[in-house]
A and B are shown apart, each in its own frame.
Chain A
Amino acid sequence: MSEQPERNEEEVRKIMIVDDEPDILLYLDTLLQDHGYRVIKAESAEEAWDKLREDKPDLLCLDIMMPKQSGIALYKKLKTDPYFKDVPTIFISAFSTAKDFTGRGFRKLVPDREVPEPEAYLEKPLNISSFLSTVQENIE
């Protein structure tokens, strides 16, 4: 099942997934575990913030539209925090297309230039192989 080389316990990469839909969490959790990653799940931006501080992940998969705080609010908080700003982030949403989330589209949502564009933006429904390759590219 695993397409990743065997790693020691210390070398296993940690990925945090944040999505308010339990279905998506279960899906991505299963998918990433099957490919040798350790997964930290959070159902809201608030829960994610608490768990991040306990266990800093190597990569973050972030939904945008969530009740209460949105994914973008959490992203802005991370990217302006010296401890978390190097965590690569992949946005995953059914809400927009990649165009709305890169370049000018992104700057419309986040005018603050201190906040860089995310490493990647993926649209739901996910293409499994491109999702996995994006994860792999950004986690090294």
Chain B
Amino acid sequence: MDQVELKNWLHTQLMEKVPTNIAIIDRGFKIVEANRRFENTYGDWRERHCFEVYKRRSSPCTNCVASQVFADGKPRVNEEEGIDINGKPSYYVVHVEPVQAEGGAIPYVIEMSNDVTEQRMMQQEHDIIFDRVPCYISVLNRDMTVVRNNELFRQRFGDALGKKCYQIYQHSEETCENCPAMRTFADGQVHTAYKTGKDKSGRTVYYYVNTAPLSRGGDGTSHVIEMALDLTETKVLEQQLKQSFDFQENLINSAIDAVMAVDSEGTINIFNPSAEKLFQRKAEEVIGKNILDQFVPKQFIDTIANDGDSLLLRETWVTDAEGNQVPVRFSGTVLKSGGKYLGSSAVFQDLRQRKQLEQEKLEAERMAAVGQTVAGLAHGIKNVLTGLEGGMYVVNSGMKKNDMELTQKGWNMLQNNIERITSYVKDFLGFARGREPHVEKTDPNAVAREVVELYKDKTNQLGIELKADLQPDIALANMDAEGLHSCLTNLVSNAVDACEMSDKEDCEINIKSYEKEGTIYFEVTDNGHGMDYEVKKKVFTTFFSTKGTSKGTGLGLLVTKRIAQEHGGRVEVDSEEGKGSTFRLVFPRERLPDITGNSNKEDNQ
């Protein structure tokens, strides 16, 4: 093989071994030569035009690069999209070189193409990721100018190309403090920041930004890629949560009632200012400690231990730091979520002031009763005076007329009225002095039974039927048994008189006791003569008696009313003329007095 042959052989080898598709095209766009690699990619090329082979077109391409090279003889590079032997899109970078003949003519061009389909696909995927990733992405140059941005960025901030990033994100003309992009430019490291900005319509956007260095051209950081995660929704939720938390905290802190709570471990985590006041303990001494049992009633500790739900004590006692017993209304709740124990909360209403007010009200009522009694006493005395005056007149008249019978009647009048004033004074002193009530655990029905026993004989003699209807399960109550006895005796005695005054043959009196919603009731009902309007109006307010001279002073109901008031209760009356009356003693348990002489107050819920 001579030198020329060797060279030709090597050229042919080169043509086949070079890792590039090579085709040589004449001025008519016919492919005159191509290597095997080309043929393997695009199929048979012989006697065919380049546009047919590359792109399966029937006519030359617009912007045909080969024709430009034929025209000016300058080599060109272009990216093209063709169709490969299998009919699939094929992306390729093609270098087009002129082949110059002697004299400058260009009969051929050589097209050397490299397949970039795979890179192109990856690029497309990257573009999709770039545009679709749920982040605002922008590429900044060293002037902080946005040179690229993604779809999401454009949607939220508008088209920002060529503008400064701070104009876009902040609507500002100055760079931000601690700009992470600037730091990345300075040190080539990744930086992050939480930022608040504004979108294209001026709405606030909260975002977490991450800046990474980008090197184009290999000389350090030429660009920065900025990726911002939108936190607006999270932030809004966070703010709402915080507001609601602040609101609740405020509510608890400003509550008049003492509030405390423990977590599932029993550690105190809420102790509001009212609790500090009630217990005389500082929140910081208490919070974080496992000492709930020092504050709440023992029943509540049991409620928690027994997996209960809540505990309400209308009135109980707690002890403050100085050992004082404080009356409170207690409400404890066991907090659960889906059956899981989360902790417990307790609310204490300080009853000291209410107790004080109740005491004052009772005192005021008692004073009013005394005032009415004094007015009533005047009424009684006026009647007695009239009787005395009348007696004197009748005695005088009888003596003048020498009428012994009339004189005697006058004397009797004087005597009656002197007796009457004596009993007034006795009753009144009894009323005014009162008696120290002796309160103890008392069976209300036992007292009622005693009164029935007391009146059994008398009513029998008078032909009145005395019945008792006592609810058997009324619990013991803090009462002055003797006082209650007086009340019931007065009411039964009145009922007996009402029956006596009535014309009815079959009179009956019924004593009834019952308890409803924490209130004890006694009722004394008669079917006697009843009362008309004027009598009803005056019945509790004066020494009022309709029974004439021989019976009582009219103090009975006043005494009854006073005793009821001493028990925190009241007397009610229903009466209809001719049909009878019902007098009702009403004792709400929560208003009943404490046991006499027992300073060690106990829970009477």
Q: Which residues of A contact B (CB under 8 A)?
A: 1, 20-24, 26-28, 30-31, 34, 64-70, 72-73, 94-95, 109, 123-126, 128
Contacts and interface: CB of A to CB of B under 8 A. Distances in A.
B386 interface: yes
Interface string B482-512: 0000000000000000000100000000000
Nearest to A20: B548
Interface of B: 379-380, 382-383, 385-391, 393-394, 397-398, 400-401, 406, 409, 413, 416-417, 501, 529, 532, 534-535, 538, 542, 544, 546-549, 577
A6 B501 CA distance: 43
- Which 9 pairs across A and B sit closest by C-beta, in order of nearness? A27-B390, A94-B382, A124-B386, A125-B385, A67-B546, A125-B386, A94-B383, A23-B387, A70-B534
A20 B383 CA distance: 12
Nearest to A68: B529
B390 A24 contact: yes
B394 A30 contact: yes
A102 B526 CA distance: 36
Contacts of B394: 26-27, 30
A109 B534 contact: yes
5 contacts: A20-B546, A22-B549, A70-B534, A123-B382, A124-B385
Contacts of B501: 67-68
Contacts of A24: 386-387, 390
B534 A65 contact: yes
Contact of B413 (A27, A69, A72): A27
B390 A26 contact: yes
Contact of B547 (A67, A73, A128): A67
Nearest to A96: B379
A15 to B, nearest CB: 16
Given A27-B386, A67-B501, A68-B529, 4 more contacts: A30-B397, A70-B534, A125-B386, A125-B388
B297 to A, nearest CB: 53
Contacts of B409: 26
Nearest to B409: A26
A10 to B, nearest CB: 25
A24 B413 CA distance: 9
Nearest to A22: B549
A30 B389 contact: no
A32 to B, nearest CB: 11
Contacts of A27: 386-387, 389-391, 393-394, 413
B390 A23 contact: yes
A30 B546 CA distance: 24
Nearest to A45: B532
Contacts of B387: 21, 23-24, 27
A70 B535 contact: yes
Nearest to B381: A94
Given A22-B549, A23-B417, A31-B393, A64 B386 contact: no
Contacts of B549: 21-23
A52 to B, nearest CB: 19
Nearest to A34: B397
A27 B544 CA distance: 22
A21 B383 contact: yes
A34 to B, nearest CB: 6
B382 A125 contact: yes
Contacts of A26: 390, 394, 409, 413
A65 B539 CA distance: 11
Contacts of A123: 382
Nearest to B417: A23
B494 to A, nearest CB: 12
Contacts of B400: 1
B534 A23 contact: no
B409 to A, nearest CB: 6
B406 A30 contact: yes
Contacts of A124: 382-383, 385-386
Chain B CB within 10 Å, residue with most, of A21, A30, A31, A94: A30
A22 B409 CA distance: 11
